[in-house]
Structure 1
Amino acid sequence: MSKIESSLDKAFAKLVQFKEMGKVRLCALWQKYSPQLSQAKRVDFATVKSFLVRFKWRLLLILVLLYAGSKAYDYFFPASAKSGGPVTVTSFVVQKKDVPLIIEATGTIVSNSIVDIRPMVTNTVATIQVKDGQEVKAGDLLFTLDDRNDKANYEKLKALADDAQKQYLRAKELVAKNFISKAALETTLANAKSAQAAARAAEVQLSFDYIKSPIDGRAGIVNVFPGSLVQASNIVSTATSSTATSSVGSMVTITQLNPIDVQFVIPEKDIPIILENQLDGDAMNVTVTVGDSGKRTYEGKVLVVDNQVDPSIAAVRVKAQIPNDAKTLLPGEFARVSLVANTLKDALAIPSQAVVINPRGKLVYVVDKDDKVAAKPVKVVYDYQGLSVVTGIDDGDRVVVEGKQNLRPGSKVREDKSAAPQATTTSTTPTAPEKK
């Protein structure tokens, strides 16, 4: 190949040399005779004939050289080579497949259940059974308030209730022996029930001194200390200064971390797709990514789609639930959500770069069996991350992906063997789909 290229270079150099020599000779002749021609008042046939006869051999030599140079140029550089020959392209064979219709959104990690622990009575904290960040179960004791007064009141009312019950039982025996009337029996029954109710109320009041966790979860920062005064329905107040430490908030917050939820919004235009899938009874799957690295990925399912659209943002809220066994997710974290809203059955998916946009619309170049291309107009139904689902082409068509900028309808192409083969599947996990 190197010898052939060297010969071609030498031949081309010779042609260039002949061309330059011809230019030089013509310029010399023009400079020599142009003054005479400009001074001549008229150029008649006799003058032209005399010129041709005088320089006929030189003119003939110039014409022969020009002709030979033209033929040599056409031989070494044929028209097909000058026009570029077949255009090297990379193509993709279209195949029918199911393509997930995915909607991307941003959301926030939220707890499935979260409870602020506040006192039901005004009292003083006696002991604290929970520690900062402790895992607790429903029913675990968190705080004990000063229960001396409530316990004494309960014991007094419990004793009165027990005595009233005994009085009622004795009255029943006396009625059976006709020592008292039935009216007296009913009075003792009423007294017994009243005393028992008072005892139960005192028991409930006493239970407020033992604050327990209503849910399974993780305790946050404890905001009270032994001896702190807490009041019913108040904000536990303590402030940090040079002499004292206090916090503003609940006594402690219990947060359920497993499972955990993610809340996000879906644009109004995509609501019909979601509702249609809900009516089919299928739970929509979501993929949640947390963090900039993208390594923390979780799979879950949609729990609920809100029953109204927020007109201020033209979107609807959606909540999904994801497992959090390692408890690495915390409420308030930013999350990226990919929602599989539907599946396009037997769709024709091609690489997005195969689509050409011109003033008349969108088209693709399809290669026929003779390796010639034809332009076919297409309509993009769905587009995401390098994948386009289109209509207007057929299953098995071979479309041009790379090299299309040099094509015209009817252009001949050849496949670039050095390029990596186009994958027949493309990752699908998108931003809101382009629905048309």
Structure 2
Amino acid sequence: MSKIESSLDQLVAKLGQLKNVGKARLCALWQKASPQVGKLKQLDFATVKAIAIQYKWRILLVIIILYAGSKAYDYFFPASTKGGGPQTITSVVVEKKDIPLIIEATGTIVSSNIVDIRPMVTNTVAKVHIKDGDEVKEGQILFTLDDRNDKANYEKLRALADDAQKQYLRAKELVDKNFISKAGLETSLANAKSAQAAAKSAEVQLSFDSIRSPINGRAGIINVFPGSLVQASNAVVSTTNAASTSTTSSMVTITQLDPINVQFVVPEKDIPILLEGKQADKPLTVQVTVGGDNKNVYEGQVFVVDNQVDPSIAAVRVRAQMANPKMTLLPGQFARVTLNANTIKDGLAVPSEAIVISPKGRLLYVVDKDNKVSAKPVKVTYEYQGTSVVTGIESGDRVVVEGKQNLRPGSKVREAKELKAKTAESPAPSTANTSEKK
């Protein structure tokens, strides 16, 4: 303790010495300056005027330099920055409105109906009634096969059926006269029915020689010619040699192009939105573009959602149908689909860039009537193309969009539009003054 007390005494003594030295130096300085102060007291108005006239240009130059320096300082260091003034922001006022729920997907154009025409019997093509790419109607004859044998067989069986029918009628008359038994009549009836059935079978066989279109559509490339042998199988059997070339395929494919379908997949996470919209009274509408053509937009309606989710891609298949009167859409084309799945009634939408992601979650800066901001936590229920639907704020709230990086709750803000308006108005007076001086 004695060492500490001695150290404190030494420190107090040194401070006393410094105080005495400071007083002595201030007294000496005052004694030196007192004669100059006396001279200033002796200056009168005439002397000051003479000095001002003598050094007027120097005085004016100093004033101009001081004024320019002051303006430059105010320009590079505005009052808001120097004094911690309000921060400049851009904001929007949130309003309630109906917001469509959009699902974007990629898909493929598919035909509503497509049929591969194949023969039901083994025969030779007698005549081709259509050309490649023709539009055909339902029931129109496409090909005629050699029907001579089938026609002769049908006529033979038809004649036997007619004769059996006559025999039955004659037996019926004889039974009434008791010339034959009822058993003979029943046998005659069975023979007549059997002959009729054989005739109808021959008629069906004959009909296979006239191949008709089962749907309305467009014919593709024809793979057979008059004289080609076709077989009753899943494919047209053909060979390639030096004289002719044929392919193994259907005789022709008929494709319905109007209306036409688009097939696409919807991710599993969007299935609830899709099903809610499908259960509503309003039909689900789609907008389709193909390839790189974004000018032509085709509109259609969803008519089927698959009954199971494909686990390999975690998505469900959806088909929509649209009109194609100009036949500009063809099966197999790549398509971009925009599906209007549902509508959020009275939703609150804000620009997605206004949302701040913090460690505690997502929040928005809301400006009050005193231009002070407060942070409100929000929940994003839907987001599409830079717009987010949120909950946690009220309609009419003013939300900060730009300039939120350095904001804190309670910060003072100023709208960027107001600042631009003041900046635009400020140069006008200075220009006018300059022109007047000139």
Q: Given the two structures, how large is their TM-score scaled by the length of structure 2? A: 0.76
Contact 1:372-1:413 within 8 A present in 2 as well: no
Q: Return the offset for 1:99.
A: 1.0
Distance (whole Å) between structure 2 residues aligned to residue 417 and residue 236 of structure 1? 79
Structure 1 position 248, deviation (Å): 2.5
Instruction: Within 5 Å, give how 1:31-430 maps onto structure 2.
Output: 49=24, 53=28, 79-83=79-83, 85-238=85-238, 243-280=243-280, 282-409=282-409, 410-416=411-417
CA shift for structure 1 position 52: 8.7
1:132-159 deviations in Å (ceiling 9; x for gaps): 1111111000000111111111111111
CA shift in 2, pair 1:141/1:417, >3 Å: farther
Question: Do the aligned residues in 2 keep the contact of 1:161 with 1:196 (CA within 8 Å)?
Answer: yes
Report deviation, 1:188: 1.7
> How far did residue 170 of structure 1 move?
2.0
> Partners of 2:81 and 2:390 in 1: how far apart?
36
1:360-405 Cα offsets, whole Å, 9 max, x none, are: 3222222222222222222211111011101111100111222333
Residue-by-residue CA offset, 1:215-270 (whole Å, 9 max, x unaligned): 11111111111111110014124467764221231100111111111111112222
Q: Helix, strand or coil for the counterpart of 1:203?
A: helix
Query: Is the Cα contact below 8 Å between 2:120 and 2:208 reproduced in 1?
Result: yes
- 1:283 deviation in Å? 2.9
Secondary structure of the residue that 1:405 maps to in structure 2? Answer: coil
Does 161-170 or 77-86 show the bigger shift?
Answer: 77-86
Give me the TM-score of the superposition, normalised by structure 1: 0.76
Query: 1:106 and 1:331 mapped to 2: Cα distance?
Result: 14
Give the share of equivalent positions with the same residue, in percent. 69
| Unmatched runs of 5 consecutive residues or more in structure 2 | 1-16, 37-65, 421-438
What CA RMSD, in Å, does the superposition of the two structures yield over aligned residues? 2.9
Larger mean CA deviation between 94-103 and 76-85 belongs to: 76-85
CA distance in 2, matches of 1:309, 1:238: 41
Residue 249 of structure 1 aligns to a residue whose secondary structure is coil
Q: How far, CA to CA, are the matches of 1:366 and 1:94 in structure 2? A: 10
Cα displacement (A) at 1:303: 1.3
Alignment partner, residue 18 of structure 1: none
Q: Which residue of 2 aligns with 1:430?
A: none
Deviation string, structure 1 residues 96-119 (Cα, Å, up to 9, x no partner)? 111112221111111111110000
The answer as to whether partners of 2:288 and 2:336 remain within 8 angstroms in 1 is yes
3-state SS of the aligned residue for 1:404? coil
Tell me: CA distance 1:78–1:342, structure 2 relative to 1, closer, same or farther (3 Å): closer
Query: What amino acid sits opposite 2:350 in the alignment?
Result: I
CA distance in 1, matches of 2:147, 2:255: 27
- Checking the alignment, whether the CA contact within 8 Å between 1:366 and 1:400 is kept in structure 2 is yes
Q: Write out per-residue CA displacement over residues 343-367 of structure 1, whole angstroms, 9 at most, x where no aligned residue.
A: 2111100111211223332222222
Change (3 A) 1:52 1:209: farther
SS in 2 for 1:185: helix
Structure with the larger helix share: 2
Specify the code of the residue in structure 1 equivalent to 2:109.
Answer: I
- Aligned in 2, Cα 1:152/1:400: closer, same or farther, shift over 3 Å? same
CA contact (8 A) 2:89 2:413 kept: no
Distance 1:373 1:246, change over 3 A: same
8 Å CA contact 1:136, 1:216 repeated in 2 = yes
**Residues 119 and 232 of structure 2 are in contact (CA less than 8 Å); yes or no, is this contact kept in structure 1?**
yes
Is this contact kept in 1: 2:231–2:237, CA < 8 A? no
Q: Is the partner of 2:369 in helix, strand or coil? A: coil
* Corresponding residue for residue 429 of structure 2: none
* C-alpha displacement of 1:194: 0.9
What's the secondary structure of 2:293's corresponding residue?
A: coil
